[in-house]
A and B are shown apart, each in its own frame.
Chain A
């Protein structure tokens, strides 16, 4: 049993190879959100108050991608559209919502430099919508590999919340769409 993606990758690479003049790009759009488990796209978080730094790991998942793409193409650009909604119920905190992506053979996901970082400010009983668009060479490196590992982490400074109380709420990732534009290398 084999994987479908090598067939698709070859077809696409050959397609761009013969597609002629013009931009002649292979545009890979990966709906990263679709690979996440529902419990990861919408999950509750809880962090104890009184700590200047704390993290909540929301997602950590492997994503199968196009085999052979890295060898056959040069990356021209990569962008990520990242959006989320945070429904904070208790506590006050500031922090960042982080998105990570690395090739699967990378040792540790969450020690890599995040691809996207969205500042957030949480207050009790508020719903916050955040979004960003970033361009990233590291994202491109991850998404043209055979298999990537993606993760989402919430980093919070809960020092504004008294000790003994928690910052609690629900995060919902609403968009996680990566677009990689590559040029034929072979």
Chain B
């Protein structure tokens, strides 16, 4: 039991470390070239701001990303056989945190090294060498809210749909002593607790949604009233003042919920390596769970996506909030798990059965600003997600049928990245390319990727 517990703790630690707060990957080459900004004329933007649904398409486009990275993966796949000397679990983790949809132009060397242990009667140290690079200096948070593809039908300004959503969030904190041992290869010392804490939540639900997005206010530019009334006017470039709003309340059917709050650690005794090497282990965890068809049954709740976008003299200002006030009521089973060091076993104590509990789906807020000057677009976007806030700045200029783009963004790890790209348009079809730096690899060192998209205008 003790071995299993220690193994679980260490695997949890290393797994958590191995998958840091990976920034999201943008595969639309036009958007990536502009620093990942979101504007109303990007095909997939309505997922960020429901009001974009009501805005005339204008010069908007739909992108079909070309997954160049899959070719690269097929030509040089990582080793999946753990018995092979070339096996490197970090390459697998990199593949997960950095799906091979874009072409990798450069990447950091994979983590690879020996592990050294020095043992003496009054001294013990572990040098993880390369692995020390992945031990975080502060809390390690990962997860987010994912809206999986669903089914939706639109009727003019309204739509109904169903889509699954998954919310997973975890925060792992290493106590300073443990971090120093792992990150700095500091020697273990006597009478010291090497602890860690973990708080995690995971829930899944189906969202049954009905929405409406429409133009709430319109003041056309004098002389263009006719086009605007027909709906042909593009408020992004017409100079008109227009306000579009959208709202989509949703009924949430909770399929499963689970959360964990745990603390654990090992406390050294008066001697590190004496005759008994006394170390006391402590683990305490509180869990709550409910599952459709099982303990507590399904959950039921409500939420909404809302958004608005204002156009004024070709300036676009949009605010979209997804999962606003989204809550699910559950009847959870609550348990306490405590490791008894003297008995070398876990004791599980039920605390409550079918206790009323309300979980929340965190809000994701997207604020975008864009200004069009003839063939030039300047744009900025701030995305406030549950675990991070990213900032995107970008510009695009069309010169005939050729577009040039540049941008920068601050990713989820607060690192600024640089992007650029271009595109060429052939009538209703175009091809876009973008090159961008990123730090999605678990080594958190800068790499360069290239994205390509087929664009339908």
A interface residues (Cβ-Cβ under 8 A, vs B): 1-8, 10-12, 14-31, 34-35, 62, 64-66, 68
CA separation between A1 and B340, bound complex, in Å? 10
Contacts of B76 in A (CB 8 A): none
Chain A residues closer than 8 Å to B87, beta-carbon distance: 20-21
- Give Cα A11–Cα B132 distance, bound, in whole angstroms: 12
Given contacts A3-B276, A7-B279, A28-B119, contact A20 B269 (CB under 8 A): no
With a 10 A CB-CB cut-off, give which of A18, A27, A28 has the most chain B CB atoms: A18
Contact A21:B112 (CB < 8 A) given known A12-B126, A14-B11, A29-B119 = yes
Contacts of B173 in A (CB 8 A): none
Chain B positions 95 through 130: 1 when the CB is less than 8 Å from some CB of chain A, otherwise 0: 000000000000000111111111111111010111
Does B202 make an interface contact (CB < 8 A)? no
Q: Interface-forming stretch among B1-9, B41-49, B421-429?
A: B1-9
CA gap between A65 and B124 in the complex, in Å: 11
| Contact status A15-B269, CB under 8 Å | no
Provide the bound-state CA to CA distance between A5 and B119, in Å: 10
Q: In chain B, what residue has the closest Cβ to A25? A: B114
Given contacts A21-B112, A34-B122, contact A1 B269 (CB under 8 A): yes
Q: A19-B131, A21-B112, A34-B123 are in contact. List 9 more A-B contacts (CB 8 A).
A: A3-B276, A3-B278, A19-B113, A20-B91, A25-B115, A27-B116, A29-B117, A31-B121, A64-B273
Closest Cβ of chain B: how far from A159's Cβ, in Å? 38
A12 to B117, Cβ gap below 8 A? Answer: yes
Assess the B121–A35 pair: CB atoms within 8 A.
yes
In the complex the two chains form, is A29's CB within 8 Å of B116's CB?
yes
B280 A1 Cβ-Cβ under 8 A: yes
Q: How far is the CB of A64 from chain B (nearest CB, A)?
A: 5
Nearest residue, chain B, Cβ from A34:
B120
B110 touches A20 (CB 8 A): yes
Question: What would be 9 A-B contacts, judged by CB atoms less than 8 Å apart?
Answer: A2-B2, A2-B279, A2-B281, A8-B188, A11-B126, A15-B131, A20-B110, A22-B113, A30-B120
In the complex formed, the residue of A with least CB distance to B119 is A30
Q: Closest CB of chain A to B285's CB: distance in Å?
A: 18
Contact present for B10 and A11 (CB under 8 Å): yes
Q: How far is the CA of A1 from the CA of B129 in the complex (A)?
A: 30
| Most-contacted residue by chain B among A6, A20, A25 (CB, 10 A) | A20
Q: Counting CB contacts under 8 A, is B89 at the interface? A: yes
A62 and B277 alpha carbons, distance in the complex (Å): 13
Q: Choose among B88, B119, B188 the residue with the greatest number of A CB atoms under 10 Å from its CB.
A: B119
With the chains together, A186 CA to B112 CA distance in Å?
17
Task: Provide the main secondary structure of the chain A interface.
Answer: mixed
Q: B130: which A residues are within 8 A, CB to CB?
A: 19-20
Please, which residues of chain B bring their CB within 8 A of the CB of A65? 119
CB distance from A89 to the nearest CB of B (A): 30
Whether B115 and A8, one on each chain, are in contact in the complex, defined by CB atoms closer than 8 angstroms, is no
Q: Could you tell me the dominant secondary structure of chain B's interface residues?
A: mixed
A29 and B118 contact, CB distance less than 8 A: yes
Residues facing A in B61-114 (CB within 8 A) are: 82, 85-91, 110-114
B172 to chain A, nearest CB (A): 15
Complex: A157 Cα to B153 Cα, angstroms: 99
CB contact under 8 A between A34 and B121, given known A1-B269, A8-B126: yes
Q: Which B residue's beta carbon lies closest to that of A178? A: B119
Smallest CB separation, B127 vs chain A (Å): 9
B268 contacts the other chain (CB 8 A): yes
A7 to B11, CA, bound (A): 12
| Cross-interface CB contact of B117 among A1, A6, A8, A19, cutoff 8 Å | A8
Known contacts: A28-B117, A29-B119. The answer to whether A18 contacts B18 by CB under 8 A is yes
In the complex formed, the residue of B with least CB distance to A68 is B3
* CB-defined contacts of A2 to chain B, threshold 8 Å: 2, 266, 278-281, 341, 344
A181 to chain B, nearest CB (A): 8
**Nearest CB of B to A4, in Å:** 4
Interface residue? B14 (CB, 8 A) = yes
Give the complex CA separation of A30 and B116 in angstroms.
11
Question: Roughly how many angstroms separate A66 CA and B7 CA in the complex, as a whole number?
Answer: 15
The residues of B that contact A6 with a CB separation of less than 8 Å are: 2-3, 6
> A31 and B118: CB pair below 8 A?
yes
Please state if A3 and B131 are interface contacts (CB–CB under 8 Å). Answer: no
Give which listed residue, B114, B122, B281, contacts A26 with CB less than 8 A: B114
10 closest A-B pairs by beta carbon, nearest first, are A20-B88, A20-B112, A34-B120, A31-B120, A3-B277, A15-B115, A4-B279, A18-B89, A34-B121, A22-B112
Chain B residues near A68: list those with CB within 8 A.
3
In the bound assembly, the distance between CA atoms of A18 and B126 in angstroms comes to 15
Say how far B179's CB is from chain A's closest CB, in angstroms. 13
Contacts of B111 in A (CB 8 A): 18-20
CB B445 to nearest CB in A, in angstroms, measures 15
Complex contacts, B88 vs chain A, CB 8 Å: 18-21
What chain A residues lie within 8 Å of B124 (beta carbons)?
4, 8
Contact status A1-B276, CB under 8 Å: yes
Known: A4-B188, A8-B117, A14-B11. A20 touches B341 (CB 8 A): no
Chain B residues closer than 8 Å to A15, beta-carbon distance: 115, 126, 128, 131
Determine how close the nearest CB of chain B comes to the CB of A39; give it in whole angstroms. Answer: 14
Contacts of B277 in A (CB 8 A): 3-5, 64
| A34 to B112 alpha-carbon distance, docked (Å) | 31
Q: Give the docked Cα–Cα distance between A64 and B290 (Å).
A: 45
Instruction: Report B148 CB to chain A, min CB distance, Å.
Output: 30
